[in-house]
Each structure stands twice: as structure tokens, then as C-alpha cells.
């Protein structure tokens, strides 16, 4: 079919293109030091072409196709997630990839898209009543199954984008805020337990939340029961973990406990960014010495290179470009022609927003090291293709918003 | 028509999401401002003049001591020459480091091969990890390196603890040794936080108690100057102090162990075990030949490693628990006990066929070791002189099941559960075993003849023989053999339950066995095991060995009335147990029970006291 190019969302298009360009330049700079990764930017350039082609195909097909293919795609992605646990190749202790000849493929990326489609399809229903458990329980399972499989790889950073997406879509589909917060209470429960080591903090918070939200009795009972199970079982479960499992969780919560690995990277990243100052050291002039020993300076820690060489102004430019992408994405959800398109846009944008936050906050030292790449900037072919496909889906919504 | 909620509601929801988005990115911007404006000067300094390095603070491994606190293993510093790769930003420096002149000078300093140095330096530059160029270097090399460090960027001296075994070869297989972790162990135990260059227990106590001995390494960030010299620590990450490993106290008595080693010094291959039969504490454990574990700590050369492993007599093998031998006539104790407990005989039972130097069975003649014969003897006399003809008939009368169940109750045929790795099970044949080796259900009764005198398929480790002797000596109470007595700061440590059931039978049966074993030493085949002033009980053995001269075997316990030590001795290919092993056992018993000549009076007094105490407890019962 012919694309009505003028209807594309141009701010979104140019912001994306700007980010990809910055990514290419930074990968070039990060790999310009003699070493194993020299010349990777050429490969990244080739991937740009592929990613653009993929996005074009995604835009060309009407999103109704994604609607109808949602469940089969979801099924396939679950099979692949199980397969990756069984046969996937491991890197740095995690099994995240399936090798396809020379390519590596992360099933968690497909699962993110497929789960978005399924949830959008589910929520796009005239009879939907999110005050009833029989309506709000199924999507919880739809999102938690891929979450659990991805978290097991272990790739908690990517895994958590499933609940993030789900929460945004609950909200968009009309679940009242108070209820949503109450529903999230087991999450606060776990988080508070790990931070404070006691369940009593949460008990106080929980009572305050109930007083504010005043849920129906049925809802109240479910939430109380859920939190009760979590509160009673969690310390029990914790004490039964092996020492090395506890250590992993503790390192995840607090990377300073692991100064050999994650803590070292964080400190190097902070030095790189901080030494860049407001103006930066100049493109290709990054002298952050220790950072050159970081194996991930062109992937997970690429934002440190931007911060060092281009300074606060360069880093801020990247932030502004992301703000355009995310806000345009949410805006498209609001103007979408139908429920499915809006919900799909919400899911896609939230997943991307979450990934950006996890990576950027890690780079500035405010979030644990989780091995999540920065969309459009980090080196990595499949990630770039997937990110362009996500943009393609948003453009697809933009293109057809005026179809009658 | 567009579906879904009205436009106004959608706008409200968009506003919420937009606010969250802006809040998120604002957080990032605040993070950037903190680093790039607030902390800019400090971080710039770190980046420009200095750099940060992570130094591992090695945790000292726990010490190993004997039961009285005398040192058996601790740590000493090793001065390692290391290469720290230079930061890659200064490419000129990287080139200068791998320059052939640098390599040649370093190789000359370290008295090492240029190619080898080059390979390790390149590897370190590639991975960014520190490379150890020479471990435990002598003082002269260290001094030379210190002098020329300023012209040789990247080179450094690092102190790391290595293991020291002050007693050298003493108890080598029991203690085991700790050495640098190898690739296989590293990939198996990565989850436990092991890293390249770590020490890990390889054998013996060092391996079995690795988790407790090891401790937890600490770490600190240090700021170093361009030459790699330490300037200060970094306040960003406070140092994490190392947690030392737990000290381990063994049940070993260094005096007994040393005396056992001395008496075994002339034995080419063999083993001896001494147990306290009251609780299963191992008092001494020797395996010959032995090795010096210090060789492994210092970093053993591949050639020496091969030599140790390929030596036919295998000094690394702990024969006391890993080698199984035919028990020979020492097994007659088991046969005697089995016959008594199942009521087949009493102390004064005579067998139908008296000993004339041999026994005819199934058309063949089975010889007695004494070809002059013992005549018609009762059970006690048969054990005293180890009459084979008597025990052939006893074996036939007992049958396989009663023999094997009694042996198992005494801890044979299964692992004893001692807290040392790689223990052997030995072999006590069962019906199923013979069914596999002969036609099912049709195995010849002749095997019982052999079992009665401890030959045939039977195999037992020296530890199992010592355990058997312990249980016999203490009247059937099972004990768990163990080498660790206590672990410092670990209140959770407790003795595990015995695996074997032990034996319960009549006091008359026990009296007969004890009387017979005492007669073996007093006026039987083990006269050489007598100790003046101490009643010793024992049993000799001479295990036939298809590959050469017989193995000498001896088991004993003392004092006979209140045993505090039980032992098993095996000397491979050296003849009769009563001739070879009994005198060695006597020397150790003398030392263990009477002490040094200077200490005899003290110990004897102590012993009188403990006996008196024991008597009074019995009286109270």
C-alpha cells in the first residue's frame, strides 16, 4: 500500500534520527582507541540501514494485523523465552541470547512487543471494567509470565519493563489511580523489606493507602491477602536462599557491596561524566583513562562517553531528544484512532521510557548496574532494529489516526 | 469513528504520563548536574592526574592446629612480581610497555623466559587484569625490581599470603594442601566468589573445610599516580576489610602423629591410623610415602607435579582412607564376634576337625599358616594363635550373611563418613556381589573358608580396620571417625552421628573377644606389641597379595580395660603383621600412654586419676 508520508509524525522522526546519529558518532569515538572493538561503527552503520528497512515494513502494514497476530506472537515469544533458558548462549553469567548463525537474537525483545499487542487487544474491550478482579487479573498473568521468564535469565532490568508497561496500560485503560497504587502495594512491600529489612514500615504505609483509596471489601480482601502472603513468606524465603543467591540480590539492591564488578564500573562512569564538566572535553578527546578498561563503554555505558566528551550540554541534548520521542509517543496514544492503537502506543513508549531510565540512572550512579542498553545510542544491531520497530509502530499509529 | 473514552479524559491521562516522563528525565538531569557541576573539580582531578584502581585485600586463611593448639598450618607472605596494565588512553605508554626492550629487561630481572613474559603482559593488556609474572620471588629479585620500577612502568611488587606447613611432611595427606585455583575449579565455583589467583584447598582437611578456612577477601579503591604508585584511598567506596577464615582445631595429637611418622619412616608404602575409641577422634593418621605440602604453596613446577603424580607409589594418595587392603587375619576378630553374637559358639567351643596344618574341603586342602598345626583348640586359643583351620570351619558355620552383617555393623564395606574427601568404601561381599561374579545362586561355599580368615574378596581401608577395632574395644558402641575437633567462632559445629549401627551382644561374648585379643599380645602372635605396665589387646594379620610379598597388618587397642586408643597398621609387601607392625604399634602406645620418659610420672598420675574417676562412676551405676 502507499504510505501517506505527510501524516508521519515528523518531530518523532527527526528526534529518532538525531539520536541514531549521536549514537553512531559516539560509538565511533568510544571504539577509536586501538583495541578489540575498533571499527565497530561501520557495522553499526550497516545495522542502521537494516533497522530503517524493518521500520518501514512495520509502518506499511496496518496495525490491525498486529492486533490479530497478538496471541500467536505471544505464544511464540514464550516458547523462545523458555528455549533461551535451555539452550541460549551465556555472556557474563546470564542467558539472554539465541544464536542465529552470525546474529544474536534476544527473545525478550520480541516478548515485549508481543505482550504489548496482547495487552492492547485485551484492554480494547467495551465491556472492560477494571474494578472487577475477573477483568484485572488476566492481564496481570499475561505480563507476569514473560516477566518471570526474563527475570530468570537473569535480566531483571529488561524484565521489569513488563510490569512497567502493564501499569501504564492499566492506567490508560481506566483503572482508578487509588486502586492502581493499592494493587502495586506488594511491590512496595518487597522493596521496603529489602531496603529496611523489616515488614513494619510497609504495614504503616499500607494502612495509610487503604485509608486513602477506600476500596471495596472484595478488593480489600484480595490485596490484604496478597500482601499477607508476601509479608509472611518473604523473610522465610530469604532465610532459605543460598549465600550466593542472597549476595546476588544484595548486589542488585546495593552495587557498592560488589566493588569488584558493578561498583567499579559505576565509579569509572561517574569519573568520566563528572570530568566532562559543562562543555565536555571535546569530541574524540575523551581522556577518561580507566574507562578504557570498561568492556561496555560502547554498549551499556555509552552515555558516560557522551557526558565526558560533550559535557552537560551534550548529555542534555540527548535527554531532550528522548523527551521529544517519549512525549510524542504518549501524545500519539491520545490522538490514536481507536483503543487498540492508543494502548499499543502506551505499551511501546512506556517500555522504551523504562529502558532509558534504567540505563541513564545507572550511568549517573543512581540505579543498580543491570546490563540494559541505551536505546538508539548503544552499539548493538538487534537492539537498534527493535527500537526502530518500536518507532515504526508509533508512526503506524500516527499515519492512520485520520483514517475514517 | 475513534473509539475509547472522550478526548478530555485522554488529555488528562496524557498529562499524568507526561508529568511522570518529565520527572524521570529531570532526575537524570539532576544526576548529570551533580557529577558535572557540583563534583566536577574532584572528578576531573581523578580523571586527569590520577586514576582509580581496585585493590583486593586478601583474607588470611584460617590456621590449622592439633588438639592442644600446636600449629600445623598457617600463612606466610609471598612477594609476587606483578604487571598492572597501563590505561589504554595513553597509547604511547601501551606501546612502550610491550616494547621488546621492556620485555627483555623484565625477563632478565625475573630470570624468566622472554616469550613467557611477553605472552602474559599482552594478555594483561588485552583484558585489563593484573598478571602475576613471578610468584614468591626471592629477596634479590624483589630488590632488583624495586630499584628499577621507575623505568619499568606497570611493574609492581605485591604481597599475598601463601600457605605454610611448619611440620613439613607431617600428616601431609591428612592436612592436604591449598594451592592456586585452576580453570576447572574456577568455572565450577565462580558463584562462590572465587577469582583468578585465589588459594583453594585441594586435598585433605584444606579441601574438606575449604568454606570455613577460606575467609572473605576485602577490597578498597585506591587513587594511584601515573606510575601506578598509591596516592590515597578513594572516599567514594569505603574499603571493605577482609574477613579472615576460621581457625580449625584437629583431633590430631601432634606427639602421637609425630611418633607414628617416625616409626613408619622405614616403610616404603603403608598407612596407620590411631583413633580414640570413646568418641571417634582421629589421634594420628599416617600414609607412606608422603610429600611436603609447602612445595605446592610455593608454586610447584609442572615437571615436579608430574613426578609426584606419576610416581608409582603415589605420595599424594592418603592410603589410610583411600586404599583398601585385604584385612587378613585381623578379620578373625569379626568372625569370632559374629559367631558369638549369633550364639553359634562359646569361648570354649572346639571345632570338629582339629588343626594338623591344613583343612580338606571340596577335594582340596586349605593350609593353616602354621604347617605344624595347632591341634584341637578352643575359640580363645584359636584367635590367640590365629589358627586358620578353626576359622575355616567357623566361616562355614557362619555363612555369608552373618559375616557380612557383622562386618558392616562394625563400619566395614561402607564409607565411615570421616570428614576427609575421597574416602574409599572398601568391600564386604554380599549375596548380590557373588551372584554377579558367579552364576546366580550357585557360588561355591569355598568362599566362606576365605572370608573366615579375612582373605578372598574382602577389602578394608586402614581407617575401617581402626574403626572396627574401636567398636570392638568399646563394647559395640558406634563412633563417627573425625579429624576436626572444633572450629573457631563457629558455634554451629557439632559432631555428626555414626553411620554404622554398632553391635549389641552379651557381656560374655565381649569378655571372650577382649580376653582373646589380650592373649594375642600377651602370649600369642603379637608379643612385640607388649608395653610394660599397660595391658594391650590386638590381632595380627598377614594379607596375601597376588602382586608381591604379603602386606603386614596389625590392629590393637590399649589400655585393655579402659581403651583410650585404637590403632590399625598396614605395611605393604613387608611380611608378618606381628613382626613388622606390632613393634611399631608398641612404640606409639608407649608414647601415647606413658609419654616422654620425663613426662611418664605426670601422665601416669593423670591416668590413675582418670581411672579412679571412671571406677567411681561405674560404682555409682
d(CA A160, CA A168): 13
Inter-residue contact A349 to A314 (CB < 8 Å): no
Residues 6+ apart with CB under 8 A from A355: A157, A158, A161, A372, A373, A374, A375
The superfamily CATH assigns to domain B53-250 is Penicillin-binding protein 2a (Domain 2) (3.90.1310.10)
Residues of B with Cβ-Cβ distance to A270 under 8 angstroms: 35, 39, 43, 236
Confidence category of residue B24, pLDDT binned at 50, 70, 90? very high
To test the contact with chain A by mutation, choose from B6, B7, B31, B91 the residue with the greatest count of A C-beta atoms within 10 A, namely B31
Residues of B with Cβ-Cβ distance to A327 under 8 angstroms: 18, 21
Cell readout for A253 is 539492591
Q: Which residue has the higher pLDDT, A344 or A249?
A: A344
* pLDDT greater than 50 at residue A138: yes
For helices A133-152 and A217-240, angle between their N-to-C axes, nearest 10 degrees: 20
The residue extents of the domains of chain B are 53-250, 254-305+317-485+495-620
Q: Report A:70-129 residues touching B (Cβ under 8 A).
A: 93, 124, 126
- The predicted model gives B591-599 an average pLDDT of 73
Average pLDDT, chain B: 85
Inter-residue contact B200 to B210 (CB < 8 Å): yes
Inter-residue contact B194 to B185 (CB < 8 Å): yes
Q: What's the half-sphere exposure (Cβ side, CA atoms, 13 Å) at B217? A: 21
Structure confidence at residue A325 (pLDDT): 97
Q: Please, which residues bridge with residue B157 across strands?
A: B81
Structure confidence at residue B50 (pLDDT): 52
Structure confidence at residue B91 (pLDDT): 39
DSSP A217-228: HHHHHHHHHHHH
Question: Contact A323/B40, CB-based, under 8 Å?
Answer: no
Tell me which of A75-89, A334-348, A381-395, B324-338 is least confident: A75-89
Question: Contact B52/A364, CB-based, under 8 Å?
Answer: no
Q: Checking DSSP bridges between strand B218-224 and strand B230-233, what pairing results, if any?
A: antiparallel
Question: Contact A293/B17, CB-based, under 8 Å?
Answer: no
d(CA A174, CA B545): 87
Residue B29 has its nearest CB partner, among A316, A336, A337, at A316
Instruction: Check residue B86 and report its DSSP letter.
Output: P
d(CA B26, CA B18): 12
Q: Alpha carbon B261 to chain centroid distance?
A: 17
Residues 6+ apart with CB under 8 A from B583: B528, B529
Cell readout for B584 is 611399631
- Name the catalytic one among B137, B287, B323, B329: B329
A276 touches B at CB < 8 Å: yes
d(CA B227, CA B159): 18
Residue A174 zone, left/alpha/beta (φ > 0; ψ -120 to 50; rest) = left
Confidence category of residue B157, pLDDT binned at 50, 70, 90? confident
Residue A267 has its nearest CB partner, among B2, B25, B237, at B237
Question: Contact A289/B87, CB-based, under 8 Å?
Answer: yes
Highest mean pLDDT among A283-287, B214-218, B341-345, B369-373: B341-345
Closest-CA distance, A163 to chain B, in angstroms, reads 16
Tell me the count of A-B CB pairs closer than 8 A: 164
- The predicted model gives B82-92 an average pLDDT of 58
Residue of B nearest to A258 (CA): B219
* pLDDT greater than 50 at residue B71: yes
Question: Contact B237/A256, CB-based, under 8 Å?
Answer: yes
Residues of B with Cβ-Cβ distance to A331 under 8 angstroms: 14
- The predicted model gives B320-342 an average pLDDT of 95
Structure confidence at residue B599 (pLDDT): 54
Give B421-454 pLDDT, tens digit per residue: 999 999 999 888 888 887 777 778 888 888 999 9
Is residue B96 annotated as a catalytic residue, yes or no? no
To test the contact with chain B by mutation, choose from A124, A127, A290 the residue with the greatest count of B C-beta atoms within 10 A, namely A290
DSSP A175-241: --HHHHHHHTHHHHHHHHHHHHS-SHHHHHHHHHHHHHH---HHHHHHHHHHHHHHHHHHHHHHHHS
Highest mean pLDDT among A82-96, B70-84, B174-188: B70-84
A180 touches B at CB < 8 Å: no
Question: Contact B35/A270, CB-based, under 8 Å?
Answer: yes
Closest-CA distance, A327 to chain B, in angstroms, reads 6
DSSP SS3 for B288 = strand
To test the contact with chain A by mutation, choose from B12, B24, B95 the residue with the greatest count of A C-beta atoms within 10 A, namely B24
* pLDDT greater than 90 at residue B298: no
The secondary element (H helix, E strand) that includes residue B282 is strand B282-288
Closest-CA distance, B138 to chain A, in angstroms, reads 30
Distance linking the first and last C-alpha atoms of chain B: 100
Question: Contact A307/B35, CB-based, under 8 Å?
Answer: yes
Confidence category of residue A353, pLDDT binned at 50, 70, 90? very high
Residues of A with Cβ-Cβ distance to B87 under 8 angstroms: 289-290, 292-293
Buried b (16+ CB within 10 A) or exposed e, B232-266: eebebbeebebebbbbbbbbbbbbbbbbbbebbee
Residues of A with Cβ-Cβ distance to B85 under 8 angstroms: 293
Report the 10 Å Cβ neighbour count for A292. Answer: 22
d(CA B186, CA B195): 7
d(CA A190, CA A202): 9
A264 touches B at CB < 8 Å: yes
Residues of B with Cβ-Cβ distance to A322 under 8 angstroms: 25
Closest-CA distance, B193 to chain A, in angstroms, reads 8
d(CA B48, CA A281): 11
- What are the two backbone dihedrals, phi and then psi, of residue B43, each rounded to the nearest 5 degrees? -70, -30
A289 touches B at CB < 8 Å: yes
Inter-residue contact B575 to B593 (CB < 8 Å): no
Inter-residue contact B109 to B144 (CB < 8 Å): yes
User: Nearest-CA neighbor of B466 among B607, B606, B581, B339?
Assistant: B581
Question: Contact B31/A366, CB-based, under 8 Å?
Answer: yes
d(CA B222, CA B53): 5
- The predicted model gives B119-123 an average pLDDT of 77
Q: Which residue has the higher pLDDT, B401 or B544?
A: B401
Question: Contact B21/A275, CB-based, under 8 Å?
Answer: no
B53-250 and B254-305+317-485+495-620: identical CATH topology: no
Instruction: Check residue B36 and report its DSSP letter.
Output: I
Classify the C-alpha dihedral B263-B265-B270-B271 as positive or negative: positive
Question: Contact B13/A323, CB-based, under 8 Å?
Answer: no
Residue B31 has its nearest CB partner, among A256, A276, A364, at A364
d(CA A182, CA A212): 10
Q: Report A:242-261 residues touching B (Cβ under 8 A).
A: 244, 247, 256, 259-260
Residue B210 zone, left/alpha/beta (φ > 0; ψ -120 to 50; rest) = alpha
* pLDDT greater than 50 at residue B88: no
Q: What's the half-sphere exposure (Cβ side, CA atoms, 13 Å) at B299? A: 15
d(CA B366, CA A240): 61
Reduced DSSP (H G I as helix, E B as strand, rest coil) percent helix, strand, coil of chain B, to 5: 45, 20, 40
Tell me which of A251-260, B113-122, B310-319, B445-454 is least confident: A251-260
Structure confidence at residue B93 (pLDDT): 45
Q: Please, which residues bridge with residue B78 across strands?
A: B160
Distance linking the first and last C-alpha atoms of chain A: 16
- The predicted model gives A243-253 an average pLDDT of 60
| Class of the CATH-defined domain B254-305+317-485+495-620 | alpha beta
Residues of A with Cβ-Cβ distance to B7 under 8 angstroms: 334
- The predicted model gives A143-164 an average pLDDT of 86
d(CA B379, CA A394): 98
User: Nearest-CA neighbor of B503 among B535, B481, B470, B536?
Assistant: B470
Confidence category of residue B620, pLDDT binned at 50, 70, 90? very low
Residue A293 has its nearest CB partner, among B28, B90, B128, at B128
Residue B17 has its nearest CB partner, among A93, A168, A338, at A168
Cell readout for B65 is 592446629
Structure confidence at residue B607 (pLDDT): 58
Q: A33 burial class (0-12, 13-18, 19+ CB within 10 angstroms)?
A: middle
The residue extents of the domains of chain A are 1-60+259-404, 66-155
Question: Contact A244/B191, CB-based, under 8 Å?
Answer: yes
The secondary element (H helix, E strand) that includes residue A169 is helix A161-172
DSSP A65-123: HHHHHHHHHHHHHHHHHHHHHHHPEEETTEEEEEEETTEEE-HHHHHHHHHHHHHHHHH
The secondary element (H helix, E strand) that includes residue B219 is strand B218-224
Residue B43 has its nearest CB partner, among A174, A271, A404, at A271
* pLDDT greater than 90 at residue B410: yes
Q: Which residue has the higher pLDDT, B226 or A333?
A: A333
Residues of A with Cβ-Cβ distance to B40 under 8 angstroms: 274-275, 277-278
**From start to end of B71-138, where are the E strands?**
71-83, 131-134
Inter-residue contact A287 to A7 (CB < 8 Å): no
Residues of B with Cβ-Cβ distance to A330 under 8 angstroms: 14, 17-18, 21
Amino acid at each position: 500500500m502507499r504510505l501517506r508520508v505527510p501524516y508521519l509524525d515528523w518531530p518523532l522522526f527527526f528526534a529518532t534520527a538525531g539520536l541514531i546519529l549521536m549514537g553512531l558518532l559516539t560509538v565511533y569515538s568510544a571504539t577509536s582507541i586501538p583495541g578489540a572493538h575498533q571499527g565497530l561503527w561501520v557495522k553499526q552503520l550497516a545495522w542502521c540501514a537494516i533497522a530503517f528497512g524493518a521500520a518501514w515494513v512495520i509502518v506499511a502494514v496496518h496495525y490491525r494485523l498486529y492486533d490479530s497476530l497478538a496471541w500467536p506472537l505471544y505464544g511464540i515469544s514464550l516458547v523462545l523465552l523458555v528455549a533461551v533458558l535451555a539452550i541460549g548462549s551465556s555472556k557474563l553469567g546470564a542467558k539472554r541470547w539465541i544464536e542465529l548463525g552470525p546474529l544474536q537474537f534476544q527473545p525478550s525483545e520480541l516478548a515485549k512487543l508481543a505482550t504489548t499487542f496482547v495487552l492492547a487487544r485485551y484492554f480494547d474491550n467495551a465491556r472492560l471494567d477494571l474494578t472487577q478482579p475477573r477483568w484485572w487479573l488476566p492481564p496481570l498473568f499475561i505480563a507476569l509470565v514473560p516477566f518471570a521468564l526474563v527475570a530468570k535469565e537473569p535480566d531483571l532490568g529488561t524484565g521489569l519493563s513488563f510490569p512497567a508497561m502493564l501499569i501504564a496500560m492499566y492506567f490508560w485503560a481506566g483503572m482508578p489511580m487509588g486502586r492502581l497504587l493499592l494493587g502495586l502495594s506488594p511491590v512496595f512491600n518487597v522493596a521496603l523489606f529489602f531496603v529496611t529489612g523489616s515488614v513494619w514500615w510497609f504495614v504503616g504505609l499500607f494502612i495509610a493507602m487503604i485509608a486513602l483509596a477506600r476500596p471495596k471489601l472484595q478488593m480489600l480482601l484480595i490485596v490484604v491477602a496478597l500482601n499477607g502472603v508476601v509479608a509472611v513468606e518473604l523473610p522465610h524465603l530469604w532465610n532459605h536462599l543460598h549465600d550466593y543467591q542472597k549476595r546476588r540480590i544484595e548486589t542488585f539492591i546495593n552495587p557498592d557491596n560488589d566493588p569488584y564488578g558493578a561498583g567499579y564500573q559505576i565509579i569509572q562512569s561517574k569519573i568520566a561524566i563528572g570530568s566532562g564538566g559543562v562543555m565536555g572535553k571535546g569530541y574524540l578527546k575523551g581522556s577518561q583513562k580507566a574507562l578504557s578498561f570498561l568492556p561496555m563503554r560502547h554498549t551499556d555505558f555509552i552515555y558516560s562517553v557522551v557526558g565526558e566528551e560533550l559535557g552537560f550540554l551534550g548529555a542534555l541534548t540527548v535527554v531532550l531528544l528522548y523527551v521529544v520521542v517519549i512525549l510524542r509517543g504518549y501524545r500519539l496514544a491520545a490522538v490514536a484512532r481507536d483503543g487498540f492503537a492508543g494502548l499499543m502506543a502506551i505499551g511501546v513508549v512506556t517500555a522504551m521510557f523504562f529502558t532509558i531510565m534504567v540505563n541513564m540512572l545507572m550511568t549517573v550512579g543512581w540505579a543498580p548496574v543491570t546490563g540494559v542498553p541505551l536505546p538508539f545510542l548503544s552499539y548493538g544491531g538487534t537492539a537498534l532494529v527493535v527500537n526502530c520497530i518500536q518507532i515504526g509502530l508509533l508512526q503506524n499509529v500516527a499515519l492512520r489516526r485520520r483514517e475514517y | 469513528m475513534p473509539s475509547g473514552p472522550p478526548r478530555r479524559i485522554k488529555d488528562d491521562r496524557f498529562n499524568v504520563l507526561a508529568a511522570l516522563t518529565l520527572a524521570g528525565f529531570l532526575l537524570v538531569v539532576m544526576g548529570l548536574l551533580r557529577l558535572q557541576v557540583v563534583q566536577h573539580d574532584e572528578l576531573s582531578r581523578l580523571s586527569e592526574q590520577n586514576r582509580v584502581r581496585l585493590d583486593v585485600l586478601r583474607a588470611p586463611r584460617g590456621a590449622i592446629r592439633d588438639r592442644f593448639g600446636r600449629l600445623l598450618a598457617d600463612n606466610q607472605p609471598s612477594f609476587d612480581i606483578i604487571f598492572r596494565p597501563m590505561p589504554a588512553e595513553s597509547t604511547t605508554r601501551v606501546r612502550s610497555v610491550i616494547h621488546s626492550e621492556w620485555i627483555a629487561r623484565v625477563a632478565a630481572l625475573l630470570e624468566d623466559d622472554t616469550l613467557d613474559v611477553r605472552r602474559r603482559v599482552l594478555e594483561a593488556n588485552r583484558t585489563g587484569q593484573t598478571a602475576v609474572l613471578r610468584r614468591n620471588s626471592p629477596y634479590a629479585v624483589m630488590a632488583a625490581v624495586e630499584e628499577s620500577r621507575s623505568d619499568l612502568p606497570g611493574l609492581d611488587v605485591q604481597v599475598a599470603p601463601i600457605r605454610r606447613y611448619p611440620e613439613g611432611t607431617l600428616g601431609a595427606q591428612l592436612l592436604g594442601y591449598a594451592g592456586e585455583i585452576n580453570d576447572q575449579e574456577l568455572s565450577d565455583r565462580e558463584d562462590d566468589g572465587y577469582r583468578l589467583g585465589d588459594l583453594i584447598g585441594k586435598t585433605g582437611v584444606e579441601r574438606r573445610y575449604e568454606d570455613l578456612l577460606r575467609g572473605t577477601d576485602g577490597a578498597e579503591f585506591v587513587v594511584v599516580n601515573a606510575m601506578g604508585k598509591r596516592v590515597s584511598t578513594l572516599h567514594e567506596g569505603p574499603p571493605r576489610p577482609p574477613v579472615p577464615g576460621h581457625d580449625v582445631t584437629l583431633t590430631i595429637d601432634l606427639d602421637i602423629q609425630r611418633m607414628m611418622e617416625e616409626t613408619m619412616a622405614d616403610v616404603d608404602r603403608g598407612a596407620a591410623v590411631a583413633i580414640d575409641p570413646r568418641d571417634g577422634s582421629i589421634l594420628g593418621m599416617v600414609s607412606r610415602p608422603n610429600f611436603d605440602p609447602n612445595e605446592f604453596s610455593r608454586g610447584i613446577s609442572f615437571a615436579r607435579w608430574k613426578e609426584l603424580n606419576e610416581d608409582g607409589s603415589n605420595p599424594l594418595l592418603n592410603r589410610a582412607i583411600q586404599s583398601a587392603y585385604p584385612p587378613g587375619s585381623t578379620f578373625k576378630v569379626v568372625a569370632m564376634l559374629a559367631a558369638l553374637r549369633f550364639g553359634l559358639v562359646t569361648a570354649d567351643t572346639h571345632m570338629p576337625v582339629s588343626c594338623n596344618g591344613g583343612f580338606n574341603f571340596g577335594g582340596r586342602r586349605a593350609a593353616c599358616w602354621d604347617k605344624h598345626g595347632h591341634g584341637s583348640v578352643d575359640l580363645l586359643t584359636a584367635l590367640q594363635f590365629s589358627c586358620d583351620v578353626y576359622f575355616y570351619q567357623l566361616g562355614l558355620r557362619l555363612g555369608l550373611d552373618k559375616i557380612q552383617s557383622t562386618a558392616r555393623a562394625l563400619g566395614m564395606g561402607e564409607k565411615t563418613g570421616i570428614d576427609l574427601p575421597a574416602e574409599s568404601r572398601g568391600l564386604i561381599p554380599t549375596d548380590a556381589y557373588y551372584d554377579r561374579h558367579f552364576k546366580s545362586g550357585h557360588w561355591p561355599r569355598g568362599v566362606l573358608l576365605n572370608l573366615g580368615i579375612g582373605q578372598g574378596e574382602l577389602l578394608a581401608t586402614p581407617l575401617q580396620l581402626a574403626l572396627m577395632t574401636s567398636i570392638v574395644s568399646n563394647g559395640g558402641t558406634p563412633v563417627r571417625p573425625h579429624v576436626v575437633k572444633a572450629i573457631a567462632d563457629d558455634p554451629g559445629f557439632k559432631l555428626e552421628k555414626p553411620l554404622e549401627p554398632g553391635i549389641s551382644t552379651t557381656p560374655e561374648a565381649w569378655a571372650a573377644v577382649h580376653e582373646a585379643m589380650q592373649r594375642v599380645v600377651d602370649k600369642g602372635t603379637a608379643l612385640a606389641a607388649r608395653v610394660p605396665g599397660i595391658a594391650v589387646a590386638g590381632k595380627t594379620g598377614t594379607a596375601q597379595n597376588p602382586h608381591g610379598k604379603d602386606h603386614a597388618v596389625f590392629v590393637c587397642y590399649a589400655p585393655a580395660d579402659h581403651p583410650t586408643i585404637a590403632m590399625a597398621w598396614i605395611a605393604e609387601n613387608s611380611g608378618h603383621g606381628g613382626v613388622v607392625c606390632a613393634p611399631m604399634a608398641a612404640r606409639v602406645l608407649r608414647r601415647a600412654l606413658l609419654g616422654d620418659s620425663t613426662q611418664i610420672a605426670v601422665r601416669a598420675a593423670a591416668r590413675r586419676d582418670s581411672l579412679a574417676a571412671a571406677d567411681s562412676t561405674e560404682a555409682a551405676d
